[in-house]
């Protein structure tokens, strides 16, 4: 695996090619240094990629040859594993991901999860025999067939690029689809190297996977609008998700959306407050809070509010943002100067809304370079504050008081989002009862972990449509066909 002269290329129709719009810089967010150049695709490149994916689906046996697909997905898993250390260093430098996270969801986990996609395709019941019946008095043999949707356009963000790219590629390919992937322009190399490895080290046929890096967001709209694309799978902000959905409506194509979150960490009055608030503070610092499912609202008993704020601030104040290459770093940089300024604007807003900082509140003085933000606890606001309702995507925790279980559930559910939630309580049945009332797609009770290849991930309300991962995620990439044959 080698980026030629520090320049990545597009993968279109099985060939590695430069971008029609030249190249663009990719930057290390921890140092602000330019790492190199990524191929910058134009509209003609995207058109060729869509055409290649269309032909690969229509004119080859990819969609019907399950054995080939399973072998190719496993090849991809294996070749990524063979280049694991190179991918790790690239991920740390381009994404700003702390080294410790590359052992999990930032790299190693998503690679291993490709095996689940292959295994699912291998054992999947593609045809279900419903037996014979006589609807309308006509003897009929009936079956239900599951088959690939067709050409999938995937649009992905920068925060956990391997996890999101591979969580789309793996099941979509295993299910028999062809794909055009447009990754975020902030992290083009980590996607481009997958294209390089596919082209040079797997038997995935030309056109089945196309990877198109570009600074032009209009190319994502092309995927959503183009009638040759049968499905668009998007992960990103809710605002952009609305645009993708609107663009896809013109051709009434299938849409999968995994969008934003403003998830609640609910602490019941019988919980170990110190343990719960410490966990809440630590989790919001991971990868500088750049995770859609991170719990960024800490909802605590009013009688112990000040104590909860102090515990969370003690934890977060002790976590210093720093060099992601170091093994002990938890909180690295945010992805860009623009994102750092966006987070800072929310911190300024918190003060304007009447809140106060129990710790943090700006850029760390000991980091003259890099896009760093101090882990920050905001206190003194209610759930009506904008910083308690809008996704900030930084290491920022807002602490909100509740007046009992019913009020805690009300506050947690009082959000346009419904992606994730956490409940801590000493009485397991009581905690489970609260969890059951939360309108969220994933719920962690007392430290349970929902992230796993076989667990579906997705949200309620404006956090998205559909599920990724698990069998449910595999089936997002399938159509259902009912076949009725006269039994004469």
| pLDDT reported for residue 272 | 98
CA 331/CA 287 separation, integer angstroms: 5
Q: What is the pLDDT along the chain (488 residues), one digit of tens a residue?
A: 556 568 999 999 999 999 999 999 999 999 999 999 999 999 999 999 999 999 999 999 999 999 999 999 999 999 999 999 999 999 999 999 999 999 999 999 999 999 999 999 999 999 999 999 999 999 999 999 999 999 999 999 999 999 999 999 999 999 999 999 999 999 999 999 999 999 999 999 999 999 999 999 999 999 999 999 999 999 999 999 999 999 999 999 999 999 999 999 999 999 999 999 999 999 999 999 999 999 999 999 999 999 999 999 999 999 999 999 999 999 999 999 999 999 999 999 999 999 999 999 999 999 999 999 999 999 999 999 999 999 999 999 999 999 999 999 999 999 999 999 999 999 999 999 999 999 999 999 999 999 999 999 999 999 999 999 999 999 999 999 999 999 98
| pLDDT reported for residue 6 | 85
Using an 8 Å Cβ cutoff, are 199 and 222 in contact?
no
CA 328/CA 336 separation, integer angstroms: 22
Delimit the domains of the chain by residue range: 2-259+463-485, 264-445
SS3 400: strand
CA 356/CA 48 separation, integer angstroms: 53
**Following DSSP, what letter does each residue of 202-249 receive, concatenated?**
--PPTTTEEE---S-THHHHHHHH-TT--EEEEES-HHHHHHHHHHHH
| pLDDT reported for residue 146 | 98
CA 322/CA 329 separation, integer angstroms: 6
Q: Kindly tell me the sign of the dihedral angle through the C-alpha atoms of 477, 76, 122, 13.
A: positive
CA 212/CA 19 separation, integer angstroms: 9
CA 171/CA 350 separation, integer angstroms: 41
- Phi and psi torsions of 377, nearest 5°: -105, 125
| pLDDT reported for residue 1 | 52
Burial class (CB in 10 A: 0-12, 13-18, 19+), 480: exposed
How far from 447 is each of 110, 183, 280, 312, CA to CA, in Å?
21, 32, 10, 16
- CA-wise closest residue to 297 among 211, 216, 396: 396
Q: Among all residues, which ones are annotated catalytic?
A: 258
Radius of gyration of the chain (CA): 23
- Phi and psi torsions of 295, nearest 5°: -80, 110
How far from 186 is each of 34, 196, 380, CA to CA, in Å?
12, 19, 35
CATH number of 264-445: 3.40.309.10
CA 163/CA 149 separation, integer angstroms: 22
Q: 66-82 and 188-201 are packed helices; what angle lies between their axes, rounded to 10 degrees?
A: 120
CATH superfamily of 2-259+463-485: Aldehyde Dehydrogenase; Chain A, domain 1 (3.40.605.10)
| pLDDT reported for residue 488 | 80
Using an 8 Å Cβ cutoff, are 372 and 333 in contact?
yes
Give this prediction's pTM: 0.97
| pLDDT reported for residue 175 | 98
Q: Kindly tell me the sign of the dihedral angle through the C-alpha atoms of 439, 445, 451, 454.
A: negative
Buried b (16+ CB within 10 A) or exposed e, 50-83: bbbbbbbbeebebbeebebbbbbbbbbbebbeeb
How far from 221 is each of 229, 246, 255, 286, 398, CA to CA, in Å?
11, 10, 13, 31, 34
């Amino acid at each position: 695996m080698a980026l030629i002269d520090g320049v990545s290329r597009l993968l279109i129709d099985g060939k590695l090619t430069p971008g029609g719009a030249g190249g663009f810089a990719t930057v290390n967010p921890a140092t602000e240094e330019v790492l190199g150049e990524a191929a910058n695709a134009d509209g003609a490149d995207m058109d060729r990629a869509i055409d290649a994916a269309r032909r690969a689906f229509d004119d080859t046996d990819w969609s019907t040859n399950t054995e080939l697909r399973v072998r190719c997905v496993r090849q991809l898993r294996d070749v990524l594993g063979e280049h694991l250390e190179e991918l790790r260093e690239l991920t740390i430098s381009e994404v700003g991901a702390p080294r410790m996270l590359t052992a999990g969801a930032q790299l190693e986990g998503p690679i291993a999860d490709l095996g689940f996609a292959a295994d699912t395709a291998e054992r999947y019941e593609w045809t279900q025999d419903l037996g014979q019946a006589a609807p309308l008095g006509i003897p009929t043999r009936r079956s239900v067939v599951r088959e690939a949707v067709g050409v999938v356009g995937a649009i992905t963000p920068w925060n956990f690029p391997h996890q999101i790219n591979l969580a789309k590629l793996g099941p979509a390919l295993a299910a028999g689809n062809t794909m055009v992937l447009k990754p975020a322009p902030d992290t083009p190399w980590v996607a481009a190297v997958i294209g390089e490895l596919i082209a040079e080290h797997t038997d995935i046929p030309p056109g089945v996977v196309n990877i198109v890096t570009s600074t032009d967001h209009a190319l994502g709209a092309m995927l959503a609008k183009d009638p040759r694309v049968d499905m668009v799978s998007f992960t990103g902000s809710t605002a952009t998700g609305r645009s993708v959905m609107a663009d896809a409506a013109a051709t009434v194509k299938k849409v999968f959306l995994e969008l934003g979150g403003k998830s609640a960490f609910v602490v019941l009055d019988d919980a170990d407050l110190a343990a719960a608030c410490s966990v809440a503070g630590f989790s919001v610092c991971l990868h500088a809070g750049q995770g859609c499912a991170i719990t960024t609202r800490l909802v605590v008993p009013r009688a112990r509010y000040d104590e909860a704020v102090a515990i969370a601030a003690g934890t977060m104040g002790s976590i210093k943002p720093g060099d992601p290459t170091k093994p002990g770093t938890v909180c690295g940089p945010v992805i860009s100067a623009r994102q750092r300024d966006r987070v800072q604007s929310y911190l300024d807003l918190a003060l304007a809304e009447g809140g106060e900082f129990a710790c943090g509140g700006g850029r760390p003085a000991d980091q003259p370079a890099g896009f760093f933000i101090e882990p920050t606890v905001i206190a003194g606001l209610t759930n009506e504050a904008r910083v308690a309702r809008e996704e900030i995507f930084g290491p920022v925790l807002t602490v909100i008081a509740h007046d009992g279980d019913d009020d805690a559930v009300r506050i947690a559910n009082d959000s346009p989002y419904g992606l994730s939630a956490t409940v801590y309580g000493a009485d397991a049945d009581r905690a489970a009862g609260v969890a059951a009332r939360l309108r969220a797609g994933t719920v962690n009770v007392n430290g349970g972990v929902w992230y796993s290849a076989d667990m579906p991930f997705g949200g309620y309300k404006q956090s998205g449509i559909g599920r990724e991962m698990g069998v449910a995620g595999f089936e997002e990439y399938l159509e259902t066909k009912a076949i009725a044959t006269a039994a004469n």
